């Protein structure tokens, strides 16, 4: 009974410490001015507590049992033992709208305050395929806390922007180029250098946008040098590898990819007969039901009748350029490029992209490739469950700081767990 009372007392003490540590937390941007920063925001999704994102990639909610800092009035102190507190910093935030392809788009320019000689780099964030608003993005404020002006905008058909949501890379590149031109006109200080940062699908769009308006650099995170059709095939081959399927089964997967590509590229006019033949051939083979890819698995499992009737509306309603050739675009660019790869990326398998980066490195000596080991799409470190599913734990340590320090032209940017591959022979 005495032990039970001690345990209860300890639990009460720990709970009281947690309440004390988080009671004074105020939403805002915090930084030590060099190597640590944190963004605290009200958690509207969860309804209580404050969401946080740290420069080292740790994220969570202050309602959690353990958090990596404790709050004291206008600053926070890290539990890691860092001596300097993270003080609340001011950012200049300018809401704006601009026109692109006859559509009003809404954006926000976030500028650091107190930069040396009021001079800083500028980046325009080019979003991925998600339909969430980009304005208010914690990543943008994190980089702004590191001395970078960041322009974010809600892509067409999302958030505060007008128009219809699309995945047409050419139209999205026009929007990104207009965002760059507009943000340059808004900056209150002096722009040291300006460029795009494209994550995921933004890795297709950002380089294309750089051919439409002059930039000084490009950052691509977990993007592909492959067409959407090739992405679908590579996803299926990765799934097959994880299931240890035979070479004979891999041939069926490649055949499926060719058939679905034929359907997509014909605007859903031909290829149905071949796909129905493959369905009948593989009808009694259960392994095919665990192959998904980006779209081929779903097309295979849809009946011939339904695919003919609603397939176009279901699979091809976003103006995606299925056979988009990104390598030809990248070959035109001779600006510094930072390309960051997630080693265990299931959504964007990396082998084809690494092969293309080897070729690109021979053409563009200012290409820098970093790989973060044991990370999935989004540069997330994860815990893999027995069923193969993954739970994101944190963003890889060094990811955000690498981007910030590379943009700020630090000679040897900190990359934490990531490592650079600067020699073609080391790919």
What is the CB neighbour count within 10 angstroms for residue 201?
23
Distance CA 48, CA 43 (A): 6
Tokens of 199: 């994550």
Run of H or E including 403: helix 399-407
What's the pLDDT at 73?
Answer: 77
Sheet (strand 28-31) strand order: 59-61, 50-54, 37-42, 28-31, 86-88, 75-78, 69-72
Which residue positions in the chain have pLDDT lower than 50?
A: 1, 6-20, 424
pLDDT of residue 21: 57
- Outline where 111-246 has alpha helix (H): 138-144, 169-186, 202-210, 228-242
Tens-place pLDDT, residues 153-208: 999 999 999 999 999 999 999 999 999 999 999 999 999 999 999 999 999 999 99
Q: Is 282 left (phi over 0), alpha (psi -120 to 50) or beta?
A: alpha
Q: What is the pLDDT of residue 20?
A: 45
pTM over 0.75: yes
Measured between alpha carbons, how far is residue 79 from residues 139, 327, 417 in Å?
A: 22, 45, 20
Q: Which residue in this structure is represented by tokens 């006109």?
A: 185
- CB of 364 closer than 8 Å to CB of 337: yes
pLDDT tens-digit series, residues 340-369: 999 999 999 999 999 999 999 999 999 999
φ and ψ of 256, to 5 deg: -60, -45
What distance, in Å, lies between the first and last C-alpha atoms of the chain? Answer: 62
Which regions of 263-389 does DSSP assign to beta strands (E)? 337-342, 367-372, 375-376, 380-384
Give the separation between CA 27 and CA 6, rounded to whole angstroms: 36
- The whole-angstrom separation of Cα 280 and Cα 278 is 5
CA-to-CA distance for 98 and 353, rounded, in angstroms? 34
Cα distance between residue 276 and residue 287, in whole Å:
17
pLDDT for res 117 = 79
The domain ranges of the chain are 28-89, 91-227+324-420, 232-316
What's the CATH code, domain 91-227+324-420?
Answer: 3.40.50.1820
Taken as a whole, the chain contains a residue count of 427
pLDDT for residue 13: 39
Q: What is the pLDDT of residue 84?
A: 87
The DSSP output letter for 9 is: H
- Under 8 Å between Cβ of 157 and 166: yes
Rounded CA-CA distance 112/93 in Å is: 9
Residue 155, CA distances (Å) to 149, 245, 335 in order = 19, 40, 25
Structure-token pair, residue 216: 């000084």
CA–CA distance, 249 with 237 (Å, rounded to integer): 10
Note the pLDDT of residue 125. Answer: 99
- 203, 328 in Cβ contact below 8 A? no
CA distances to 206, 227, 326, 377, 391 from 201, in Å:
9, 11, 11, 11, 22
pLDDT of residue 15: 44
Separation CA 168–CA 191 (nearest Å): 30
Q: What is the pLDDT of residue 354?
A: 97
Over the range 100-132, which residues count as b (16 or more CB within 10 Å of their CB) and which as e? beebebbbbbbbbeebeeeebbbbbbbbbeeee
Q: What distance in Å separates the CA atoms of residue 375 and residue 371, rounded to the nearest whole number? A: 9
Per-residue confidence (pLDDT) for residue 6, from 0 to 100? 45
């Amino acid at each position: 009974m005495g032990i039970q009372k001690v345990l209860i007392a300890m639990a009460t003490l720990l709970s009281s410490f947690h309440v004390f540590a988080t009671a004074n937390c105020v939403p805002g941007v915090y930084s030590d001015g060099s190597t640590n920063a944190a963004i605290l925001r009200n958690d509207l999704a969860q309804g209580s507590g404050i969401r946080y994102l740290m420069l080292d990639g740790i994220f969570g909610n202050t309602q959690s049992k353990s958090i990596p800092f404790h709050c004291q009035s206008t600053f926070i102190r890290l539990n890691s033992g860092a001596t300097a507190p993270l003080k609340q910093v001011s950012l200049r935030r300018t809401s704006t709208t601009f026109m692109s392809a006859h559509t009003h788009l809404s954006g926000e320019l976030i500028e650091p305050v107190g930069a040396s000689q009021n001079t800083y780099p500028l980046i325009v964030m080019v979003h991925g395929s998600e339909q969430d608003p980009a304005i208010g993005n914690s990543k943008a404020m994190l980089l702004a806390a590191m001395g970078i002006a960041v322009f974010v905008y809600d892509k067409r058909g999302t958030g505060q922007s007008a128009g219809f949501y699309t995945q047409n890379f050419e139209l999205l590149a026009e929007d990104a180029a207009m965002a760059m031109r507009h943000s340059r006109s808004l900056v209150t200080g002096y722009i040291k250098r300006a460029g795009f940062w494209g994550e995921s699908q933004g890795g297709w769009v950002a380089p294309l946008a750089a051919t439409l308006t002059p930039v000084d650099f490009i950052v691509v995170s977990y993007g592909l040098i492959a067409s959407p059709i090739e992405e679908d095939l590579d996803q299926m081959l990765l799934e097959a590898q994880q299931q240890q399927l035979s070479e004979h089964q891999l041939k069926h997967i490649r055949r499926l990819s060719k058939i679905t590509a034929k359907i997509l590229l014909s605007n859903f006019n031909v290829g149905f007969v071949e796909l129905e033949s493959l369905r009948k051939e593989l009808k009694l083979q259960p392994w095919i039901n665990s192959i998904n890819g980006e779209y081929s698995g779903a097309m295979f499992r849809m009946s011939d009748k339904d695919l003919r009737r609603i397939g176009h509306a279901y699979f091809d309603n976003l103006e995606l350029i299925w056979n988009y050739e990104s390598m030809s675009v990248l070959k035109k660019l001779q600006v510094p490029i930072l390309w960051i790869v997630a080693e265990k990326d299931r959504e964007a398998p990396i082998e084809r992209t690494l092969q293309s980066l080897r070729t690109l490195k021979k053409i563009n000596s200012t290409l820098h490739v970093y790989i973060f080991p044991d990370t999935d799409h989004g540069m997330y470190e994860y815990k893999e469950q027995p069923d193969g599913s993954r739970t994101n734990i944190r963003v890889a340590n060094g990811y955000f700081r690498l981007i910030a320090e590379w943009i700020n032209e630090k000679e040897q940017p900190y990359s934490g767990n990531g490592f650079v591959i600067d020699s073609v022979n080391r790919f």
